[in-house]
Amino acid sequence: MADRLRILVIGASGILGRSVVAELAPRHEIITAGSKSGDVRIDIADPASIEAGLRAAGALDAIACAAGVVARAARAFSRSIEGLQTGQTYRVF
C-alpha cells in the first residue's frame, strides 16, 4: 500500500464531507474541519479563520473542500492557501 497521506477535509460533517471521509479514512490520516465541528474550526467565509485553521492543522499532503461554497468564500479560501508551503497540496472544489 502507498504511504498514508495527511488530508484535511473541510466540511467533513456535511453530506458530501461524510462520504469523502468514509472513503479516505481507511487509507489515510484524516483531519476534519468545519465551522462548528471537527478537529479544527474553519469558516470558509472568513479568511482569518481559514488561515488559523490551516496553521492548526499542521503539515498536510492534501486538502479536500466539501463545504458549501459561495463565490466570495471560494476566493477567500483560494487566497488563503496559495502561499501554503506543505509539499504537494491539492485543492478539490
Express each pLDDT in 15-60 by its tens digit. 889 999 999 999 999 999 999 999 999 998 888 999 999 999 999 9
d(C-alpha 76, C-alpha 24), whole Å: 26
- The upper half-sphere exposure of residue 12, i.e. CA atoms within 13 Å in the direction of its Cβ, equals 23
Whole-prediction pTM? 0.73
Helix or strand run (H / E) with residue 80: helix 71-82
Mean pLDDT of 75-92: 57
Distances (CA, A) of 30 to 27, 73, 75: 9, 23, 24
Which grid cell sits at 54?
Answer: 490551516
Domain boundaries defined on the chain: 6-92
Fold classification of 6-92 (topology level): Rossmann fold (3.40.50)
d(C-alpha 48, C-alpha 25), whole Å: 28
Q: Decide which of 91 and 71 is more confident.
A: 71
